[in-house]
Chains A and B, each alone.
Chain A
């Protein structure tokens, strides 16, 4: 089985220059990998570094040492050292991310926010839009909201726009940061189905889920992040 994501010997700390340069270790000796068709869940208590780790895998946070290897167009790219252009290419084609909160762009309609990852990768805008509408319909976002910018949407509505945007592509790796956090039971159910479909399609998923019920149903494996945390000794 293919292993499109390998995290090897990763360590990360924050240096807070505005706080007399104190160093806050986040994680060290992080080693794991995610296979195609598998959903791996990052577990552990709040504040232990789960989101930070996910951001490192996306290239959004830097790392101090170690490698984050992503299989991209037949080659492994190390996101820990790749130049910005390569990181962006990996994100465009291979590595998707559903964040906790939608970062809204003024004036852009929900349907275009969702279609954007496809358009950015060269899809015909009308085709991308059609697919975006299918996604939004599936996630029960009221049709009258599709043409509006999501800035004024409720938390749950923004979350669904965010999920639609993350799931619309055929990326081989998908990172999920609490995608079901602000959803009602019915929509949570739909997201669980969508994750199962991604697994069947051979996508490697790495996520954070605080909802026990959802976690149990989607996870093939749980990695306890406290094992990488310097705070484990103190706990």
Chain B
């Protein structure tokens, strides 16, 4: 592992007209590092995530990504085709609503296999075998490989979306409230799964969540956002156990204890 950041973000701002989406966000993300972005609804965390993942064009600032050949590349200067290729292969994006990240009317196996074909997989048997292997890893029975995700529960759909994203062995995965709409028992299973996969695959990930327990469980480092700005950041357990800013103290003290 080379000792260089995977992603370098400098002064990213996004304005919607006069309204602020996010303002002056800078950070480095290192290989194998999981960063949580927390804050309440409307704090700009999803806007920031979408800017980072090139799904939105930032108003100002730069984002550089270290591609597999070791070069730092400015994402804004990459061609559209190259950026798409990156998103299909080296990156993953897990949406809160699985229907946004899956194709609901093709089979589970095809949902996973499709990303493999995008990186040049052509042998049907191999693709099906790899897809089956990934369904097993995300705890979906192999007997469901030919079913459409429409027939899956919310938790299963979310696991399928994760399999679809990870099958190409991406180096960076973006997740937007990955456990958002799920029951707590289903959440626990998914969190455990994500935690294991991130560790085993040495993934870097940026996870947007409003759930501080999710941030504690999954992330090494976190950023707290309010009104579009990062107001506090640092080691996850330090920010949660010794919050400095008034807003972070409010967030932490608002967690219900069970």
Contacts and interface: CB of A to CB of B under 8 A. Distances in A.
A87 B241 CA distance: 15
B188 A62 contact: no
A84 to B, nearest CB: 4
B97 to A, nearest CB: 23
Interface stretch (B56-64, B66-74, B150-158, B242-250): B242-250
Contacts of B242: 14, 55, 60-62
B136 interface: no
Nearest to A85: B30
Contacts of B99: none
B250 A84 contact: no
Interface residues of B, number: 24
A84 B246 CA distance: 21
A4 interface: no
Interface string A54-74: 010001111000000000000
A232 interface: no
Contacts of A62: 234, 238, 242, 244
Nearest to B184: A106
A16 B249 contact: yes
A59 B221 CA distance: 13
A15 B245 CA distance: 9
B244 A84 contact: no
A223 interface: no
A60 B238 contact: yes
Given A18-B249, A85-B30, A88-B220, A105 B241 contact: no
Interface in A214-229: none
A84 B192 contact: no
Nearest to B242: A61
B241 A60 contact: yes
A88 B237 CA distance: 11
B192 A88 contact: no
A120 interface: yes
A14 B188 CA distance: 33
Interface of B: 30, 33, 188-189, 191-192, 195, 199, 217, 220-221, 234-238, 241-242, 244-246, 249-250, 253
Top 9 closest pairs, chain A to chain B, by CB = A17-B246, A106-B188, A84-B235, A61-B242, A107-B192, A84-B221, A17-B249, A62-B242, A60-B237
12 contacts: A15-B244, A17-B245, A17-B249, A18-B246, A18-B250, A55-B241, A59-B235, A84-B238, A85-B30, A87-B238, A108-B192, A119-B199
